[in-house]
Amino acid sequence: MPVMRREEAAALTARQREILDDLIALMSEGFAHLTMADIAGRLGCSLRTLYGIAPNRDLLVLVACDRSLWATGRVARRTVGPTGDLQPLDGVRRYLLAATRAVGATTPQFAADLTRLPGGLELSDAHTQYLIAITKELLDIAVERGDIAAVDTNTVSFALASISNVFTQPHVIDTLAGSPKAAADQIIDIILRGLVAPNQ
């Protein structure tokens, strides 16, 4: 469930939406040190405008992150297209590669701050569960069509959709040769190639 109710999100002004988008960029190097006053000053808006979005800094951050993740999820879902027209395994690949854009620019500082933020881990888990559900739906179609071997789609969808969480852990990011997205995309591709049925 989104952090902000649908009617609240619909009531946001264009300026408030712009602020939430800009806040994501502002937080890229961490946000634990930022107060509501700091954010207002950096984004060129009033405190009243910020408090019109959320009653405190922590909830403001959650709203911004949640909104950004749902936007990425909607874009990823559109890359799949109508299920009747798609090659399921290709759909899984396109969907997950689009979804991993959400972690492309994740820094150790941001990851550490989100981990410590009340509700941060719950937010991440809620979006992962959504990814798992969509991935499983596409894998089930692929199994039915014989495009991939008969596998436990619950297990495989969990593994595929959870990969980004591994590579965005603060102590892992600095060990990667590239970005969290590049690492996740590489493992996703390896797993998907391993699922192809022998006759494909």
Per-residue pLDDT of 131-167, as tens digits, reads 899 899 889 988 888 888 889 999 999 999 898 888 9
Q: What are 8-19's pLDDT values in tens digits?
A: 888 889 999 999
Pick among 2.40.160.60, 1.10.150.650, 3.90.15.10, 1.10.357.10: CATH of 6-195:
1.10.357.10
| Residue 198: other Cβ atoms inside 10 A | 5
Per-residue pLDDT, 28: 87
Q: pLDDT band at residue 2, thresholds of 50, 70 and 90?
A: low
Per-residue pLDDT, 87: 72
Burial zone of 175 (CB within 10 Å; 0-12 exposed, 13-18 middle, 19+ buried): exposed
Q: What are 32-85's pLDDT values in tens digits?
A: 999 999 999 999 999 999 999 999 999 999 999 998 888 887 777 777 666 555
